[in-house]
């Protein structure tokens, strides 16, 4: 599963990654090498982030379903009592 980013967004990530590598490792790498590095990291770690996002979405959906279920149960009516 490849992560597709808008061109401008990917260019910004490449620029920031270049700055990080230079600041942390005192190493200058070119734009193409940085783009390959970004693609590698995205391919390597992307599924873990994706799965975590799915779990977060599942939890939100589950909480909403519970809330809806409670609201539905609150609408229940009791039959009239005999007098």
In the predicted model, is pLDDT for residue 2 greater than 90?
A: no
Contacts of 14 (CB under 8 A, 6+ apart): 31, 34, 35, 38
Q: For residue 34, what pLDDT is reported?
A: 98
C-alpha span between 34 and 13 (Å, rounded): 9
Which of the four pLDDT bands, split at 50, 70 and 90, describes residue 83? Answer: confident
In the predicted model, is pLDDT for residue 11 greater than 90?
A: yes
């Amino acid at each position: 599963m490849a992560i597709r980013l808008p061109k401008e967004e990917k260019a910004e990530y490449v620029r920031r990654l270049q700055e990080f590598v230079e600041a942390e490792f005192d190493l200058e790498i070119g734009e193409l090498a940085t783009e390959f590095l970004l693609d590698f990291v995205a391919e390597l770690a992307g599924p873990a982030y994706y799965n975590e996002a799915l779990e977060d979405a599942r939890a939100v959906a589950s909480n909403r379903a519970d809330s809806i279920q409670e609201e539905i149960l609150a609408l229940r009516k009791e039959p009239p009592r005999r007098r």
